[in-house]
Every structure is written in structure tokens, then in C-alpha cells.
Amino acid sequence: MMDSMNRHPRPLLLPIAAACVVFVYLCVAGGASARHRSHQGAAAPGDFAYYLLSLSWSPAFCLSSPNEGECNGPRRYGFIVHGLWPQNEQGWPEHCDVRRAVPDEVVQDIADVMPARGLVYHEWSAHGTCSGLEPTEYFELVRRAYASVIIPRELLRPAQAIEQSPVAITAAFLRSNPRIPMQSVVVTCSGQEVPRLREVHICLARDLTPRSCSADVARAACRASQVIIPPIR
């Protein structure tokens, strides 16, 4: 999707001795998005604790980036996969020292759930390279992770804007996915006053079974009492 430096920021918490919060943004043409980097030093591919599946609410993104391809094609999207991110109990690795191109057929095959070529390239470079998998294997795992989560029926194709609390959105995902514990789901938002739903993060073990999110992931949770869920149009 996506561009933008401001589509999916993640809070970065440094030790108290640090004088400021450092924001590191990566912008990739064709709509790649960025995350804030928690410095952990060099990471070896495959050296991480668990995965974070990030499901992005496309209608909210399209309100701020209406010219992106996913916003102008014949298909209108609801939740899409922003990424499947290797995560540690504190922080996460990025841009591991692996250089393998994503085959074009893989880009095409994953387009129904990651509908932007730039996003696919970015997510492989920034996060997939840390999985220890080949590109084909990694995006097969992305699909399996996405398929393991049932989107709540009320969020499949809302025709009108919905205003709900983050707690209610979490509860809807838990009802649709009884095997997922509450500690595995984090709802994020963006904007002032009444913010918009941004993403739903679901924490998964390396075998894709649900597990609790670590504290730094939980700190990204939306603190608003209500969020707007823009409709699919």
C-alpha cells in the first residue's frame, strides 16, 4: 500500500537516558510504509521470537492517500495484510543481511491480500529477510497467517461508517476467533478528536498459533474511547 511515512507508524521507546525519541522512516515508491526501528544491532535471519500479523484497514488509508493503486482499482478492500513481522520480546529486527529478489509470480499470487507491488517489495526487504525463509516460503506463510484469522462479519464490507470503541473491535475479533486470547490482539488508530481505525495487530508464535503480544507491541494500542471505521466504497 502504501506509502507513506505516516500510514503505519509504531511507537519507539528508548531507555530513559536517551534525550529524545528517534523516528526512522523508510519510504518505498509504489506505496511501501514505514515502521519505527528499535535498535538491536545486527540480526541474523531467523533469529526472533514470534510474528506480528498486521491487518490494515484499507478504507482509512485511502482517505489520506486516495491516489494509491489499491484505492482506485475495480476492487475495494477492507482488511489487507500490511505485514508479517518477526518480533522479539523487546523490539524487532529489520533489514537482515539477505539479498534475494521477490519473484514476480509471488507478487502476483499475494496481490489479493497485499494489493501493492511496492508494499510486497518493502515488506520482504524490511521484515521478510529476517524470517530465515526464502521469498516464496515467506509469502506462503503470510497467506497462511492471514487465512488463520476470521474477519468479524460486521467488518467484512461495511457500507456506512461505524463508530466503535477499540475494546468492541477487539471483542469482535475474539468472538470470530475463539482460539485467539485477548492478549494476542492490539487495535491501533490514528488522528485527532475521534481517530480512525488504523490496524489490528495479532501476535502469533512461529508456528502461527496465537500467543500474547509483548509489552512494546501492547503499548501501541489505541487509547481513544471511540474510533471511526470508514466504510468500504
Report the candidate in 209, 224, 188, 202 with the shortest Cα–Cα distance to residue 36.
188
pTM of the model: 0.82
200, containing H or E segment? strand 196-204
CA-to-CA distance for 216 and 15, rounded, in angstroms? 13
Please classify residue 207 by burial: count the beta carbons closer than 10 Å to its beta carbon, then call 0-12 exposed, 13-18 middle and 19+ buried. exposed
What cell numbers appear for 228 in the block? Answer: 471511526
Are 82 and 33 a contacting pair, CB within 8 Å?
yes
Q: Tell me 39's DSSP state.
A: P
Residues in CB range of 164: below 8 A, 6 or more apart: 226, 227, 229
CA-to-CA distance for 136 and 158, rounded, in angstroms? 33
pLDDT, residue 22, reads: 28
CA-to-CA distance for 151 and 22, rounded, in angstroms? 34
pLDDT, residue 125, reads: 94
pLDDT, residue 224, reads: 95
| Tens of each residue's pLDDT in the chain, 233 residues | 443 333 444 433 333 333 332 222 233 333 344 344 454 545 799 999 999 999 999 999 888 888 887 888 788 899 999 999 999 999 999 999 778 899 999 999 999 999 999 999 999 999 999 999 999 999 999 999 999 999 999 999 999 999 999 999 999 999 999 999 999 999 999 987 789 999 999 999 999 999 999 999 999 999 999 999 999 97
Are 110 and 120 a contacting pair, CB within 8 Å?
yes
What cell numbers appear for 127 in the block? Answer: 521484515
pLDDT, residue 180, reads: 98
Are 31 and 1 a contacting pair, CB within 8 Å?
yes
CA-to-CA distance for 128 and 46, rounded, in angstroms? 10
pLDDT, residue 100, reads: 84
CA-to-CA distance for 208 and 229, rounded, in angstroms? 27
Three-state secondary structure call for residue 81: strand
- Domains detected in the chain: 50-229 (3.90.730.10)
> What letter represents residue 193's amino acid?
E
Three-state secondary structure call for residue 129: helix
CA-to-CA distance for 81 and 93, rounded, in angstroms? 19
Q: Return the sign of the alpha-carbon dihedral for residues 88, 94, 96, 99.
A: positive
pLDDT, residue 1, reads: 41
